[in-house]
Amino acid sequence: MEPFEAFRIHPKSVGNTPEESLWFAVLAQAGQDMQSNNLIDRSKAAAYFLSDDCGIGSFVWICEQLSFSVSKIRGAFRIGKERNVA
C-alpha cells in the first residue's frame, strides 16, 4: 500500500506550493519507512509519528501545515500511544 493511500491523501491534493510538496514528501518517506522490512527504519518512523513535538518539520507540525489529522494518520498506520511499536 502506498503511504497515505488508506485515507485517500495524494500528493496532487496537497502540492499547492513547493513547501507543501516538500512537507508531504517528508510524511510520505516516513510512511514508506513504516512499511520497510528494516526494523531500524520502522522504529525511527514509528517514533517520528508518535512524537508530540510541534517544532518545524515534526510530524504534528507538518500535519498542521497540511491540514491533516494526526490521529487519522496514526490510525492508518495502526500507530498509537497505547500500542507497542517496537
Whether the predicted model's global pTM rises above the 0.85 cut: no
Which residues are CB-contacts of 44 (< 8 A; sequence separation ≥ 6)? 33
Domain borders along the chain are 16-76
**What region, left, alpha or beta, does residue 2 occupy, with left being phi > 0 and alpha being psi -120 to 50 degrees?**
beta
Report the amino acid identity of residue 70: V
* Banded model confidence at residue 75, pLDDT cuts 50, 70, 90: confident
Alpha helices in the chain (DSSP H): 11-14, 18-34, 39-50, 59-66, 70-76
Grid coordinates representing 59 are 510530524
Question: Can you give the pLDDT at residue 64?
Answer: 94
Model confidence over 3-55: pLDDT tens digits? 555 445 555 566 688 999 899 989 989 999 988 999 999 999 999 999 999 99
Q: At what angle do helices 18-34 and 59-66 cross, to 10 degrees?
A: 130
